[in-house]
Structure 1
């Protein structure tokens, strides 16, 4: 296997699942396998404990927006984790891709989770507000203008906190993901697209250099970037 240098972001690399004409069966298998992959590599249980749970309200329902929710596994997990902690959370998952939206809606329903086919800008235009805004593996998909738009939308939508979680680009992460996924996930885009995602992702310094004032980049070991914003008075 030829390993790219990864010294710079590969902005031109494209994931197969982003192709509207990609294999539909492989895409469905990819959505189905996201739950396993995210549980292993995305670190959201820790992110929930350290960044979301502290701003959840013990005496009322906390509203959460999951931007680019894909198959909806994070939205469902957040509701379940909060319930185990005796907290009430309602999550709205939005994604503009009709295929992702259809998959999320096709799964067994979870109380407190709803899905919409929409962009963050659509919700801003509606005047919607949420206590917390999150995303998982969205930032590396965006070009510079789209990234700035998402951050602007997130600040307008969130009453308390925004947490965008994404991959941290690393040669070691690339090698381990390549080797670790090779025997698994046949017939899906998990391995190929995961490697492209690493190539497109930021280092902490790169991400900090392109975000506006008021945002902070936190490294979550081993290979995660958390981009966090706290609303004034939130």
Structure 2
């Protein structure tokens, strides 16, 4: 079966190199560093901030935001930067259970962001709550049981809105990324893991069938799914 042909089904059995605890650390750090460029081009968080986050923020009342599975931390830093630029009060916390991601993210310059090596379950155990809960490119990494726990924890941690952005699998997305990632791929996992991510990701229909009651799927540009839960 060709790779393009296999895109008709989600390839949940594939593993990304960066998920291997024994992977090359230099290539992993290079991958984290290049997430900033890739996410800026394809992840669409500027639009998500404009449409879903900024309307909930205030210039006088502080709000809180949690980034689950923050990786290199670039999305958390971007959200903090945009809110500050707009004169809005937003305290951002970014967590990742992977020590390597935490170490990389916490070394990066930028706006004030609280980084922690922790899981969503850890924060649930602390009875923590946030006005906004987000994640980027986390959903496709999780198996069925982990995904159910992730949704459950998100609801417990959220007192406003949860926004989980991920890739929407398609042949066109695979072909476009295969070519577009070539110039930045050297010395990193950014291309190989990105293509694996596309194969592991959900179509909008699959995600709607997977998400619990009360969650909605919004199809966004650049082959993106946005899974949304609003606390009522």
Taking a change above 3 Å as real, the CA distance of residues 222 and 31 of structure 1, as seen in their structure-2 partners, is closer
In the TM superposition, residue 106 of structure 1 has moved relative to its aligned partner by 1.1
Separation in 1, partners of 2:182, 2:59: 43
Q: For 1:184 and 1:156, how far apart are their aligned partners in 2?
A: 38
Structure 1: distance between partners of 2:29 and 2:132? 29
1:149 alignment counterpart: 149
| 1:143 CA drift (Å) | 0.5
1:96 aligned partner: 97
1:28 and 2:19 equivalent?
Answer: no
SS of structure 1 residue aligned to 2:163: strand
| 1:224 pairs with 2:224 | yes
Deviation for aligned residue 1:110: 2.2
Question: For residues 4-83 of structure 1, what are the structure 2 equivalents within 5 Å?
Answer: 4-83=5-84
Q: Report runs of 4+ in structure 1 exceeding 6 Å deviation.
A: none
Separation in 1, partners of 2:126, 2:227: 25
1:67 deviation in Å?
Answer: 0.1
CA distance in 1, matches of 2:29, 2:51: 32
Deviation at 1:204? 0.5
Secondary structure in 2 matching 1:3: helix
1:57-95 superposed Cα distances (whole Å, 9 cap, x missing partner): 332111000000011101110011011111011110000
Q: Secondary structure of 1:219's partner?
A: strand
RMSD: 1.1
SS at match of 2:184: coil
Structure 2 SS opposite 1:196: helix
Q: Which residue of 2 aligns with 1:179?
A: 179
Aligned equivalents of 1:143, 1:55: Cα separation in 2: 32
Give the total of aligned pairs: 231
Report deviation, 1:184: 2.4
Any unmatched runs of 5+ in structure 2? none
Cα offsets for 1:132-152 (capped at 9, x unmatched): 100000000000111110111
Contact 2:42–2:222 (CA under 8 A) maintained in structure 1: no
Taking the aligned partners of 1:84 and 1:160, their CA distance within structure 2 comes to 22
Deviations along 1:97-130, one digit per CA (max 9) or x if unpaired, are 000000011112522x110000001100111011
Displacement of 1:210 after TM fit? 1.1
Q: Measured at CA, do residues 81 and 121 of structure 1 come closer, stay the same or move farther in structure 2, by a change above 3 Å?
A: same
| 1:79-228 paired onto structure 2 within 5 Å | 79-111=80-112, 113-228=113-228
Residues 2 and 9 of structure 1: CA distance in aligned 2, closer, same or farther (over 3 Å): closer
Q: TM-score, normalised by structure 1?
A: 0.96
Contact kept in structure 2, 1:5 and 1:171, CA below 8 Å: no
CA contact (8 A) 1:62 1:88 kept: yes
Q: 8 Å contact 2:70–2:94 — kept in the other structure?
A: yes
**What SS does structure 2 have at the residue aligned with 1:134?**
strand
Deviation at 1:2?
5.2
